[in-house]
Structure 1
Amino acid sequence: MTIKAKKFTPKVLLGAPRRSAGLPNHDGTKVLYSVSTYSFADHEKHNEIRVLDVKKQESIVVTDDKTAREPKWLRKDGDVVMLMGGEEGKTNVVIGKAEDWSKSYTAGIIPGPVENLKIHPLANNQYGFAVSGKATPAGDLYNPETAKKPHTTGRVYNTLFVRHWDHYVTENRNSIFLAQLVTNEEGKFVLSDFRNALKGTGLESPIEPFGGIDHFDISYYGLVFTAKDPELNPALHTKTNVYYFLSDTFWTPPFLQPVYPTKIHVPGFEGASTSPIFSPSGLHIAFLKMRTDGYESDKNQLFMVDDLHFPAHVTSPLGTKDLKGRWDRSPSSVIWSAKKPGEKPGFYFIAEDHGRSCLFAADWSTPNQIDRLDDPRMIVRGGAVSDIKILDNDDVFISSTSLTENSLYSLYPRKWYDEDKVYKLPDGITSPSETTQVISSQTHFGSKLGLSYKQVSEVEWPGAAEDTSVHAWVVKPSDFKKDKKYPLAYIIHGGPQGAWEDSWSTRWNPAVFAEQGYVVITPNPTGSTGFGQEFTDAIQGQWGGLPYEDLVKGFDWIEKNLDYVDTDRAVALGASYGGYMMNWIQGHDLGRRFRALVTHDGVFSMTGQLASEELYFPFHDLRGRLWDKPENWAQWDPSRFTKNWSTPHLIIHSELDYRLTISEGLAAFHTLQSRGVESQFLTFPDENHWVLKPENNLLWHRTVLDWINGHVGITKYSEQEEAEGSRNDALSVN
């Protein structure tokens, strides 16, 4: 698939092919992936499953069925299994050859919608098969198309949650369903009996709203998963536990006789758990866990059960006596590395570091010290690593993105791992950013979209707190000229425990703003992740304090040090916590230094946070509940400073945002209008905290760019579209 754009615009951003993480076969010669493309001409989304021949650098379509998803390799000779839509909301399990899908066949039919497919090889050419789906209170797979429709729309609740993220909570809960793929006399695979692994346990996994395939794993011996602690209210607590089923005959029918799973206890750690994963042998479990209940951005730390027959013996290979851990980074996922003969495998970690999502590796200090790892060492730096897969020869296949590349496949050769188990850089290589070999860049490193990494740089300035600095990405226009001054787009990230990374986004893409003629600066102030846990934690009780001061200092630093930035023509934008900060800035001195502001789904009044679904969040960050610490809630409330609101302001808020309810956006807009401040309000009745539908997203970009361009003297984007039509910025996809 080739793509080509003359100019990077919102329509190009949203119409560019979106390629999934790659799934290599056993030796990395072929890569399976899915790709979706939205056509604004047809107003239709097109989906394909494709396979890349790495040597030939050619890809072919496996299937363009719109319902096909989650392809997985089976046998080494090219068999592929995937999920496809069936009649009446059912799911077909379809198997065929990647190069000849016309001969594919249905191995089984699942009686409802499922996702998060995992398979694991068993004996005699059989596979363990796991998916997740909604289960009814009786434990059956829920199918909304065949379920009996109630005669009333009313719902009665006696406890939290009432609603979560973008939907009202019902009696149906996520669960994990298991089966086997076995071969019949004709050599074809057949799906065996389909069973709910969590039936009768009262547990839910994956955990909503974002939990997926990283919340459970299967092996030859069993199932491991993470689930909310059933004894705690999920709206008030983040505690999740790791559980597992284990048996030498786990997959032998009828597998999973009624039994409650084993719970893994981790003394002193009461927070969230994620990324449970079996070792390659299936004899060990590793997972990540946070220490503090009620704090979703606490540091993830590694834990391991070395002998599944003794789950009480949990080790912390990077732990310390004070429970803070030796490594001052918070990995988002953990993956077992390859196992050498007679040794336990070490680990790979994906973790944020200084505005990037990097790959780290760690092995045991000695083969006999099974409870102590060497400190993780960065082996891949640059861009944002999203997924890795280990090949048969122990090479690491990597899927990643960057600020100018929406899909990159690369390889980290394991040969760079020496006999002393220390990750050393090869001769001539000076940085971990140079350690990978490129397999496939979908956009030819951005050039197919009219972008270049030469547009990207980074800066730092002294932070508000002692001995801190604030990192920021700088993205310039592709036709940047040193002797020209450009208006500033100052974009503040959400979270607040989040970060601007060297990664691709279709919602807040700095390059879209840069190509309109801005110098875009995306700071990582106090509270940002990837700069050490102390820096992240420092935002507690400081929402409008240290981060705001960091941004003021940053604006001053930009004005003094970047002579190509016109701070007299500056705009500021932000979403979620970034939206809160726009409202806070509007009421304070920094607000007078911008020509226009944009708030997307931001906080207007702190007391409005009580309408949110995950109440543990404000309770933690504001250091107390409203009735116990009203002064904490009032201190950082943007609505207290509305008498100062005077800068032109665009407010965006959607009706399905149950994390920050639409009343927050309406209150901000009503305030601006009542005060006579130039303002505009954009809303979507069918979007949540994010704007995901392509046509809505295009309108979002058009409205935002028209608003800020009109206030700094740049031609409005809608006028650019009208003047140039599709001939200059159209995306050609072949």
Structure 2
Amino acid sequence: MKRKSTIIAYMLAGALVLSCTTNTQNSDNKSEKEEIIGKSSPKIENGIMTPEVLYSFGRIGEMQVSPDKSRIVYEVTYVSIPQNKTNTELFVMRTDGSEKKQLTRSNSRESNPRWINGGKKIAFLSDKDGTSQLWIMNIDGSDEEKISDIEGGIGGFSFSPDEKKVLFVKNVKTQPTAADRYPDLPEASGRIIDDLMYKHWDQWVTEVPHPFVADFSEGKLQNAKDILEGEPYESPMLPFGGMEQLAWSPDSKMIAYTCRKKTGKEYALSTNSDIYLYRVESGETLNITEGMSGYDTNPQFSPDGKYIAWQSMEREGYESDKNRLFVMDLQTKEKTYVTENFDYNTDAFIWNTDNTTLFIVACVKAKTQLFAADRTTKEVKPITEGVHDYVSVALGEAGKLIAKRHSMSQPDEIYAVDIASGKAVELSFENKEILDQLTMGKVEERWIKTTDGKQMHTWVIYPPRFDSTQVYPAILYCQGGPQNTVSQFWSYRWNLQLMAANGYIVVAPNRRGVPGFGMEWLEQISGDYGGQNMRDYLSAIDALANEPYVDENRLGCTGASYGGFSVYWLAGNHNKRFKAFLAHAGIFNLEAQYLETEEMWFANWDLGGPFWDKSNPVAQRSFANSPHRFVDKWDTPIMISHGELDYRILASQGMMAFNAAQLRGIPSRLLIYPDENHWITKPQNAILFQREFARWFDEWLKK
């Protein structure tokens, strides 16, 4: 569960005829016969989305604007279903969208591009020699040269502003193996565990990432030093942290890094991370957020080096607390809570060149926009509007921002945004040829009255070529997190347009517990998992079931993670509304979940505490509402999917639910993946999931 983690890949196989081809090129260092995974060119004869079409889109990743603001270098990832893998390449274009050029072309992964040498060179990571190492090339892609040979590979990097040093991340071993302890047992596979946090997300914790700083001399990395040498802590923080959690000062003398200096049980119970300043010359380290109890992450120095900004949560143990924007004056040490008067999260930010304005990305009422925040007045002004989500932002030429955005009807593309007017112009057009062939369903906003008299935002996605005189089955989409907005997200897992393309009306409510509607709306869900948010779900589906074009006798319900919990809970409390359920990676038994999961702070905050604390009314209410307690009321077909590498919500949760349905005589199906985690990441596994998703609902809602 966890708001960053939720959601799993989706689907629907619709009626369509598709011919999918993959462009192939020969690489200088590959055999001529090897097929390189590249841009796909599907031929879509009826305009309807399918899983195969979804996996044909190029996925735009990290982007970087050149120092003179004239060019953008960016990643695109392509998928091969036959090869069951992906490939990431680098591209460059001018900031007006012209002169697009592919810089790399191989089946190795090129990523993390950075402009160096005043914009005359591009540094990047590539695993073409077996491990991820640092390379440099010209801006036309020529003269590639490897400049690092770091044992185990590099996970991310950044050059110092004077380009005399390189900051990079690599894993260091923190836990001895059985063979380390007993050299005469080299084949022993047992793990010896004495503390918590022995597993995280989808791996056993035997090593952690550390930041290293090295000299860049004579075209090579030399004299690498571990900033956290001898410390068992991670930086960046697992499982999602990257180079955004580390930053160089403009004078190249300091490195700011994010770290939660805790291990074991203490780590499992706390979200208290801090921002540290490390002086490169002396090695002196200063904690600048000491006394701030929650997550403090993602530091950025102002261009003049006088200030540092970061994102901060106030309360320890609450991973979904408001993500605030803070700025510190590095001379006076005075801290300013910049977004104090803004009741929404700061999802990302950058400094403007004036050292006063910060451009932030924030979700407000289920749409994610760009804003300008003033560190002195604390005023936050909107820049953009519209039905879409911005997900990252960078400075462009004067008066412009370069930003990445998507919507429910379009994957990520790169845009130039005029700061004064908010007008956005698409630059990348990576997926225009595919989108031009597709007929997307109408996406509609509704405000639905809840059982306690409030207004709830709900997205309704209609099938392509929707006809209001016809009657359609509908699917209620239950969001994961639980603190995760149903915004204008585009997903290669839960794609709502893909669901609609199979002939369903999709109902996606922003029930109690999601960000973007103020803190009161967000926080209501903690300690009330089986309460008001479940009534919100039923209010949404009831409102749509009353429409003449919705068949109230053909309603389905689906979701993953907390959405999977919601499916299990509703299966025992829906009063025969639904005819089919599908849950992925959901919590079925809250008592088991409390003792199986890894990040105990989450369970303690959202459930209220352990189930054995009989004096805790919040915890007792939470566990009394565990879905497994309502199995006696199950009466509806249910499909369950789970990955066995999921250490957030163990696969045993899905197996328990399936076994319960089988023993009760409920029509049920289990799709279990031995090689997937909380998500479904492998292309053929994702296609399998999507086809089974469609087959299941078609069996029960289209008869």
Taking structure 1 as the reference length, the TM-score comes to: 0.84
> Structure 2 residue aligned with 1:611, among 579, 585, 596?
596
How far apart, CA to CA, are the structure 1 residues paired with 2:220 and 2:662? 64
User: Any stretches of 5+ residues in structure 1 without a counterpart?
Assistant: 140-147, 319-324, 365-369, 417-424, 426-431, 715-734
Partner of 1:440: 428
Alpha-carbon distance change, 98 to 328 in structure 1, aligned in 2, over 3 angstroms:
same
Q: CA deviation at 1:193?
A: 2.4
Matched, 1:333 2:333: no
> Structure 2 residue aligned with 1:400, among 402, 405, 410?
405
Q: Is the contact made by 1:3 and 1:16 (CA closer than 8 Å) also made in structure 2? A: no
Q: CA deviation at 1:77?
A: 4.9
The Cα offsets for residues 195-251 of structure 1, whole Å up to 9 and x where unpaired, read as 2122134432111111112211112231111111438711111111111113xxx3x
Secondary structure of 1:331's partner?
A: coil
How far apart, CA to CA, are the structure 1 residues paired with 2:175 and 2:307? 32
Number of aligned residues: 647
Partner of 1:660: 649
Q: Is the contact made by 1:12 and 1:449 (CA closer than 8 Å) also made in structure 2? A: no
Alpha-carbon distance change, 131 to 16 in structure 1, aligned in 2, over 3 angstroms:
same
Partner of 2:173: 136
Partner of 2:356: 345
Secondary structure of 2:612's partner?
A: coil
How far apart, CA to CA, are the structure 2 residues paired with 1:36 and 1:640? 44
> Structure 2 residue aligned with 1:242, among 265, 275, 287?
275
How far apart, CA to CA, are the structure 2 residues paired with 1:77 and 1:240? 34
How far apart, CA to CA, are the structure 1 residues paired with 2:515 and 2:52? 31
How far apart, CA to CA, are the structure 1 residues paired with 2:667 and 2:650? 23
How far apart, CA to CA, are the structure 1 residues paired with 2:67 and 2:471? 52
Q: Is the contact made by 2:389 and 2:487 (CA closer than 8 Å) also made in structure 1? A: yes
Matched, 1:119 2:159: yes
> Structure 2 residue aligned with 1:104, among 140, 144, 153?
144
How far apart, CA to CA, are the structure 2 residues paired with 1:513 and 1:90? 38
Partner of 1:192: 222
Alpha-carbon distance change, 465 to 624 in structure 1, aligned in 2, over 3 angstroms:
farther
Alpha-carbon distance change, 198 to 150 in structure 1, aligned in 2, over 3 angstroms:
farther
The Cα offsets for residues 35-56 of structure 1, whole Å up to 9 and x where unpaired, read as 2222224445343222224557
Secondary structure of 1:653's partner?
A: strand
Q: CA deviation at 1:643?
A: 0.7
How far apart, CA to CA, are the structure 1 residues paired with 2:624 and 2:170? 43
Partner of 1:302: 325
Amino acid at match of 1:161: M
> Structure 2 residue aligned with 1:215, among 242, 245, 257?
245
Partner of 2:22: none
Q: CA deviation at 1:117?
A: 2.2
Secondary structure of 1:584's partner?
A: helix
Secondary structure of 1:233's partner?
A: helix
> Structure 1 residue aligned with 2:59, among 9, 12, 18?
18
How far apart, CA to CA, are the structure 2 residues paired with 1:94 and 1:22? 17
Q: CA deviation at 1:567?
A: 2.4
Matched, 1:631 2:620: yes
Secondary structure of 2:432's partner?
A: coil
Matched, 1:31 2:18: no
Q: CA deviation at 1:510?
A: 0.4
Report matched runs for 1:577-588 at 5 Å: 577-588=562-573
Alpha-carbon distance change, 43 to 605 in structure 1, aligned in 2, over 3 angstroms:
closer
User: Any stretches of 5+ residues in structure 2 without a counterpart?
Assistant: 1-38, 177-183
> Structure 2 residue aligned with 1:50, among 74, 88, 91?
91
How far apart, CA to CA, are the structure 2 residues paired with 1:113 and 1:150? 25
Q: Which has the higher contact order (CA 8 A, sep 6+)?
A: 2
How far apart, CA to CA, are the structure 2 residues paired with 1:388 and 1:149? 52
The structure 1 segments of at least 4 consecutive aligned residues displaced by more than 6 Å after TM superposition are none
Alpha-carbon distance change, 21 to 68 in structure 1, aligned in 2, over 3 angstroms:
closer
Partner of 2:337: 316
Q: CA deviation at 1:522?
A: 1.0
Secondary structure of 2:535's partner?
A: helix
Alpha-carbon distance change, 127 to 444 in structure 1, aligned in 2, over 3 angstroms:
farther
How far apart, CA to CA, are the structure 2 residues paired with 1:394 and 1:83? 31
Q: CA deviation at 1:59?
A: 2.5
Moved more, 639-648 or 30-39: 30-39
Q: CA deviation at 1:623?
A: 1.8
How far apart, CA to CA, are the structure 1 residues paired with 2:80 and 2:433? 23
Partner of 1:484: 470
Q: Is the contact made by 1:361 and 1:379 (CA closer than 8 Å) also made in structure 2? A: no
Q: Is the contact made by 2:80 and 2:683 (CA closer than 8 Å) also made in structure 1? A: no
Q: Is the contact made by 1:21 and 1:399 (CA closer than 8 Å) also made in structure 2? A: no
> Structure 2 residue aligned with 1:708, among 692, 697, 701?
697
Partner of 1:355: 366
Matched, 1:293 2:325: no
Alpha-carbon distance change, 149 to 410 in structure 1, aligned in 2, over 3 angstroms:
farther
How far apart, CA to CA, are the structure 1 residues paired with 2:105 and 2:216? 24
Amino acid at match of 1:81: A
Partner of 2:633: 644
Q: CA deviation at 1:474?
A: 1.5
Secondary structure of 1:238's partner?
A: coil
How far apart, CA to CA, are the structure 1 residues paired with 2:433 and 2:299? 34
Matched, 1:40 2:81: yes
Partner of 1:67: 109
The Cα offsets for residues 615-669 of structure 1, whole Å up to 9 and x where unpaired, read as 1112111222222236223321111111111100001111111111111111100
Q: Is the contact made by 1:362 and 1:376 (CA closer than 8 Å) also made in structure 2? A: yes
Q: CA deviation at 1:5?
A: 4.4
The Cα offsets for residues 87-126 of structure 1, whole Å up to 9 and x where unpaired, read as 4x5443211113142x22223322222222222421xxx3
Report matched runs for 1:244-643 at 5 Å: 244-246=277-279, 250=280, 255=281, 257-259=282-284, 261-265=285-289, 267=291, 269-307=292-330, 309-311=331-333, 313-318=334-339, 325-339=340-354, 344-364=355-375, 370=376, 372-414=377-419, 416=420, 425=421, 435-444=423-432, 447-448=435-436, 450-452=438-440, 455-466=442-453, 468-560=454-546, 562-590=547-575, 592-609=576-593, 610-628=595-613, 629=616, 631-643=620-632
Q: Is the contact made by 1:3 and 1:443 (CA closer than 8 Å) also made in structure 2? A: no
Identity %: 28
Moved more, 642-651 or 472-481: 472-481
Secondary structure of 1:110's partner?
A: coil
Amino acid at match of 1:67: R
Q: CA deviation at 1:542?
A: 1.2
Q: Is the contact made by 1:657 and 1:687 (CA closer than 8 Å) also made in structure 2? A: yes
Q: Is the contact made by 1:26 and 1:392 (CA closer than 8 Å) also made in structure 2? A: no
Amino acid at match of 1:114: I
Alpha-carbon distance change, 229 to 353 in structure 1, aligned in 2, over 3 angstroms:
same
